[in-house]
Amino acid sequence: MSWKVVYNKSFGGFKLSDVAVELLVQRGLPRDPWCAKIPRHHPELVAIVEILGDKASGEWSQLRIAEVDSKYIIDEYDGQETIKEEHEIDLKDPTDIRISLSPHEQEELETFNALKDRGDTVDWKWLVEEDKPIDT
């Protein structure tokens, strides 16, 4: 199953036109030109944007409709929005504290640990480039 979602394609921010807001109010939804309280996938909102087309867009907005097949988020930069679906988002698991190392970094870490396990005194400085200061 897929759903339609209203988003703003242009810089400036999401805003409904006065006409679109009035139509939403007539359909029992709150007066909310920025859709802070109305889900962007609400069928009434989608229908009004489909019917009005560009006339649904408020000042600085260029409202469009995207179709999604899963949960989504609206990513925004300077008012311009993009829809990202669940499978497109790299969600972080706070219980996973593994460190991602390149093969070279992994090899250096294994060498360091082997020397440490052997009882050798290991200087951390050999793990970093000579010309870079070490933050401690």
Encode pLDDT of 63-85 as tens digits.
Answer: 999 999 999 999 999 999 999 99
| Nearest alpha carbon to residue 40 among 80, 6, 84, 76 | 6
> In angstroms, rounded to a whole number, what is the distance separating the alpha carbons of residues 27 and 44?
8
Cα–Cα distance, 134 to 63 (Å, whole number)? 50
State the helix-helix crossing angle for 43-52 and 18-26, rounded to 10 degrees.
Answer: 140
pLDDT tens, position by position, 102-123:
888 888 888 878 887 888 776 6
Contact indicator for 72, 5 with CB cutoff of 8 Å? yes
Q: Whole-prediction pTM value? A: 0.68
Count CB atoms within 10 A of the CB of residue 39: 12
- Beta bridge mates, 64: 7
- DSSP characters over 27-91: TT----TT-SSS-TT-HHHHHHHHHHGGGGB-TT--EEEEEESS-EEEEEETTEEEEEEGGG---
Range of 43-47, 70-74, 96-100 with top mean pLDDT: 43-47
